[in-house]
Structure 1
């Protein structure tokens, strides 16, 4: 297979950061138990993760190819490896703020580099869309595995135990392994560079993207999608623990089931992207997810779960809630691939930066709103609110589909 080595490295890098980024829901649950942190205060961890992603992406995206795509990924992996090896000694909440700040900066470098690299290792629009779907699917496999690994280090009999911090030895080792594989891999970055421009020219190219209406509606779609997605991913463990009253380890594993549903949905998006127009895929998924919210959330009221409940004897709603993620999953890779395939490859880094910025902002806002409503009202009402951004998302996607990008000189 052409470019097999570098494609494998991209999958591995994404896998590592999938675990670290999406551990925020588990960490929010654990710091409430270990350090007595309130829900609204714990929710700021999402901001410590997402705001560095947004700031770093905004600053570096336009000229990252000149710095070097491979070099950027190596730097990101090195920073995360060092931080993971510090975390087993964490004894205060600020350690977790620092962890997610480092993870955020590193992920900005990784995601821009990975999204830019996709255009370098694929040959046409459909291959681009398919590879994007499979990559995002593998990302969700990482999220699933992360939840499983964290649950294995959780002690249900001693909720206040910090034994779970030992999971970071495993994550540090995995990050170091990814660094080694990437160090010995090669990537032809020539097409990602605009040879005729200096840094000012690169910034001008980046700013020029805002002149396209299709790009503006895409950014709105990305913002709205991640707002919904992150609220579900971050608060599912807490929802299971406090609303459904299941054990802590099972609450974390529910995040793994949600991630598994996301992974399946994104792998399927890689399959369907070759056969159907992206707008049909996105429309079906948005409507299907909205309907599932209206059908499943009412089942979570007054549900009775015994202390000895496991996955083998739990009520049906315990399984249904995370499975909704399968409908939400194909949306993100579909819209990302469409916009990246619409512009020249030398602009992919700038566009990837904008994707990361608006996704990070959407994730932070979504998680904080959900955390506030969850604390002040109820978990069900917090998730019902997602129907509003879902309605705006499908409206924006339809308009985006009608717009074309006319190349400029």
Structure 2
């Protein structure tokens, strides 16, 4: 059995991680030279810099009038938790869970907040819950894209415009990658380290007028930690949405975020980042269509993410292997490509089914994905051959 030859062309950038994601093309540490380091974060200059980031976010995303944005602690997770702990409890809740992080929100709502009137609409990895079952007289919690399964909602058409409840959306791997109808979302969250390739630990929380009304008219029965508080004396804390932050932000990370936003603007705004994400995803999708040993984890084409592409190995001979080599097959491929410095961090998420996960967001270059694909075929052949020799 002859070892297949290695491909000649390697990706110039081997970073295909689903988070933190690769930096924008051409990024260097020089992009951070304007950071206001060692400065009080509530001073006039630093506060103005934070306010600028919020203003540019609103402008680039084209948020509707009355929608507010804040920089909050603890990345997207912190932003989601702020929304859950501050907004839920006034109505019954429908929460959608179909992979690791969406199931985390189910756990928080049921086991931590201990809400009584909760419907958990669940689906296994690779599938989406039945969106027709969602009741918009209730509050609804969901992710736009399930990063660990590569399964996303197809659009916002299923969300009622005349809803009585709030929609709370974890949108971290969808913002700047898909066309979002913001009028369908009342609380949306994302972090800088996904589609923008920014640094971690800072989140963005977007609130609609309906969400603000809920904050000002409803007080949860549980204690709210300082990091979650968005009101003062029963009214919205306006300072939080004008550049003040609850705790000390990293001005270095902020400068990196501003650099990412400037890059987005330079390539045509959100339309440009969506186009890049779609083009990148198409490269992988075309390869999957012609490659017999691999398929998408997402079963329905309309629910396949254009950023977090989760793949499963379907080769009959691999599936016939005993559990240990079969379940570790994809990890062997990922480890081999890591050793070759061809692809970093492409193994599936730790709680997800065994497979590969390739980020195709806007900061990646299409040419790097094109260069990666022959290496995937090579690594599959080499891994399969090595197992056959060992048998």
TM-score, normalization: structure 2?
0.30
| Structure in which a larger fraction of residues adopt strand | 2
**Higher-RCO chain (CA-CA 8 Å, sequence separation at least 6):** 1
| TM-score normalised according to structure 1 size | 0.29
Q: Which has the larger radius of gyration?
A: 2
